[in-house]
Amino acid sequence: METPAAAAPAGGFFPSFLLLGFATLVAALLGAAHRLGLFYQLMHKVDKASIRHGGESVAAVLRAHGVRFLFTLVGGHISPLLVACEKLGIRVVDTRHEVTAVFAADAVARLTGTVGVVAVTAGPGLTNTVTAVKNAQIAQSPVLLLGGAASTLLQNRGALQAIDQMSLFRPLCKFCASVQRVREIIPTLRAAMAAAQSGTPGPVFVELPIDVLYPYFMVQKEMVSAKPPKGLVGQGVSWYLENYLANLFAGAWEPQPEGPLPLDIPQASPQQVQHCVEILSRAKRPLVLLGSQALLPPTPSDKLRVAVETLGVPCFLGGMARGLLGRSHPLHIRQNRSAALKKADVVVLAGTVCDFRLSYGRVLSRSSKIIIVNRNRKEMLMNSDMFWKPQEAVQGDVGSFMVKLAQGLQGQTWASDWAEELRQADRQKEQTFREKASMPVAEHLNPVRVLQLVEETLPDNSILVVDGGDFVGTAAHLVQPRGPLRWLDPGAFGTLGVGAGFALGAKLCQPDAEVWCLFGDGAFGYSLIEFDTFVRHKIPVMALIGNDAGWTQISREQVPCLGSNVACGLAYTGYHKAAMGLGAQGLLLSRESEDQVVKVLHDAQQQCQDGHPVVVNILIGRTDFRDGSIAV
């Protein structure tokens, strides 16, 4: 017989079950209400009468961050932000290919120390930027890529040009975000701008779906049917869409801070700096290698130069650090870097990494003490497990470190015979260059002699943009930038096609500078159409094409190794005539005008000063200057 005490738990089971089920239902309903934005809408209004749009929020943030230029290739997905930027005085510069727009933004970032900004349309517009974004990542350039996208409601439903853009850019960018509501535009862009410049700088991506950029009434017209819904299902769908639309615009125009967020820039600790001071103070043959990171904010280039001069250590300059010490500074060593590194007893790698450019670290002597400083720890220690070992590895800002190092070693001097030994090796190498410049070539002009004349003609206010293989590789030995931040090359990725975009960004940033672009004829094929851009936007730049009718850097190895010149041959194309067809000025240099090289260069300068972009097509022969150089 069952007792009352034993039956009590069974009687309480059903109320407990019902209570649990009710609580679960309430939680699900509350969660759904939260996801639908119902709670947010109770506290934040939707201004259905407003004609404002999300593009205005984008433009406001860019202006608050001091952005002066927006590079783009137009598309309907992004039209509102382009129009809004124009209204706020941000110059909108449209190019003929999206990759050029990114390269231009990259140049602005490098030359100004701010974020370069580019906006492109959805799908193919974004996929066209991938190479340039990857180049910015490897070159550590803070670039903000704004990408259009299909409506938030139509994602994964087969909309025009709709792809998974976030998955495409996550490996390329240090920050990726997709804006889902108009009110998110401002905080998302502020976070992206800060991320681009903090730590190791790099590109960031913000996806802006079309329905967060256009005004309420236009989105409503596309999203909600004007006809009354029929049936229960129709009414349910209509309610969902109306609520979706309301959540999209709820709180959209409430005031929000638009200005820059604080940046997170790593700094060397005092203990690390002091240890490096002690190591360097005992050196007999010290050497410094300065890379692009040394020119990053917050240290101004003139302050960095004073620090390097105060330190008094011979140095090699690479990347954006080229030109830091001017044209003929006694501390600047330009040639025979490998030999110098083998002889040095202390080497400071300041923003320089042990990748292929330093033979993965093998070029460093095992007996040398290596100090390396870099914002990026992974890059800093690259290949240190195989070919070299740092005595001191400092994760921090390079420019600030160099200033502190110079302060710690103030009054320290080193024997002059070490620097003189390096300068003597420089002089011997330069004598070899002069001998090669005087050698006859089978046809056309000697490229070494041409580049020597370019070096003699180049004005002090010039910015050099280099884009190519063999011709540019030769120029790197012969042509010197006249100051810091006056040399633009792709960086470690070795990307061809940067020329037009870099030149565009450089001339806009520094309109009083003469922008000289040194192109190989192969690389110029990527940039030719952008002379239409230069003409339309009245941007006078000067392009010098070393035209040897081939991909010579590849041919130089392929023919002796594999016995064929297949795919390496080009023609002595009349690039100057093609540029003239786009509205630019065109000049030709060939053997017939061998004694007119300087005159033609001056003519090109004058035409630029008169407001015209110019292409100088220089027909060159082949020399052995670059024999033994690497192409892979």
Render pLDDT for 141-174 as a digit per residue (tens, 0 to 9): 999 999 999 998 888 888 888 889 999 999 999 9
- Per-residue pLDDT tens for 526-548? 999 999 999 999 999 999 999 99
Q: 466 and 395, same structural domain?
A: no
Which pLDDT score is estimated for 262? 97
With respect to residue 85, please indicate whether it lies within any of the assigned structural domains: yes
Q: 484 and 446, same structural domain?
A: yes
DSSP state of 620: B
Name which residue leads in pLDDT, 448 or 161.
Answer: 448
CB-CB neighbours of 429 under 10 Å: 13
With respect to residue 84, please indicate whether it lies within any of the assigned structural domains: yes
Residues 472-497: what's their mean pLDDT? 95
Q: 193 and 92, same structural domain?
A: yes
With respect to residue 77, please indicate whether it lies within any of the assigned structural domains: yes
Which pLDDT score is estimated for 5? 47
Reported as type and span, the H/E element at residue 454 is helix 447-457
With respect to residue 11, please indicate whether it lies within any of the assigned structural domains: no
Name which residue leads in pLDDT, 80 or 630.
Answer: 80
Residues constituting the chain: 632
Handedness of CA 180, 184, 187, 190 (dihedral sign): positive
Instruction: Specify the CATH number for the domain of residue 314.
Output: 3.40.50.1220
User: 342: domain range?
Assistant: 270-421
Structure tokens belonging to residue 280:
């360097």
**pLDDT cut 90: percent of the chain above it:** 82
Q: Is residue 309 very low, low, confident or very high in pLDDT (cuts 50, 70, 90)?
A: very high
Residues 542-567: what's their mean pLDDT? 95
Q: 594 and 504, same structural domain?
A: yes
Q: Is residue 4 very low, low, confident or very high in pLDDT (cuts 50, 70, 90)?
A: very low
Which residues, at least 6 apart from 544, have a Cβ–Cβ distance to it below 8 Å? Answer: 454, 516, 517, 518, 519, 601, 616, 618
Q: 276 and 215, same structural domain?
A: no
Structure tokens belonging to residue 521:
């004829």
Q: 473 and 410, same structural domain?
A: no
Q: Is residue 223 very low, low, confident or very high in pLDDT (cuts 50, 70, 90)?
A: confident
Structure tokens belonging to residue 486:
């006056």
- Per-residue pLDDT tens for 179-214? 999 999 999 999 999 999 999 999 999 999 999 999
Which residues, at least 6 apart from 322, have a Cβ–Cβ distance to it below 8 Å? Answer: 480, 481, 486, 487
Residue 11 has pLDDT above 60, yes or no: no
Q: 594 and 451, same structural domain?
A: yes
Which pLDDT score is estimated for 42? 63
Residue 1 has pLDDT above 60, yes or no: no
Which residues, at least 6 apart from 583, have a Cβ–Cβ distance to it below 8 Å? Answer: 531, 532, 535
Residue 448 has pLDDT above 60, yes or no: yes
Measure the CA–CA gap between 44 and 56, rounded to whole angstroms.
20
With respect to residue 44, please indicate whether it lies within any of the assigned structural domains: no
Residues 235-245: what's their mean pLDDT? 86
Q: 99 and 126, same structural domain?
A: yes
Which pLDDT score is estimated for 159? 84
Residues 53-70: what's their mean pLDDT? 98
Q: 405 and 527, same structural domain?
A: no
- Per-residue pLDDT tens for 351-375? 999 999 999 999 999 999 999 999 9
Residue 9 has pLDDT above 60, yes or no: no
Q: 301 and 239, same structural domain?
A: no
Which pLDDT score is estimated for 41? 65
Quote the number of domains for the chain: 3
Structure tokens belonging to residue 317:
């300059």
Which pLDDT score is estimated for 225? 82
Measure the CA–CA gap between 332 and 325, rounded to whole angstroms.
7
Q: 417 and 446, same structural domain?
A: no
Residue 565 has pLDDT above 60, yes or no: yes
Average pLDDT along the chain:
93
Q: What is the dihedral of CA 582, 587, 591, 597, to 10 degrees?
A: -140
Which pLDDT score is estimated for 146? 98
With respect to residue 431, please indicate whether it lies within any of the assigned structural domains: no
Q: Is residue 431 very low, low, confident or very high in pLDDT (cuts 50, 70, 90)?
A: very high
Residues 9-35: what's their mean pLDDT? 65
With respect to residue 101, please indicate whether it lies within any of the assigned structural domains: yes
Which pLDDT score is estimated for 624? 84
Which pLDDT score is estimated for 298? 95
First to last CA, the chain: 91
Which pLDDT score is estimated for 55? 98
Measure the CA–CA gap between 452 and 454, rounded to whole angstroms.
5
Residues 576-587: what's their mean pLDDT? 98
Instruction: Specify the CATH number for the domain of residue 156.
Output: 3.40.50.970
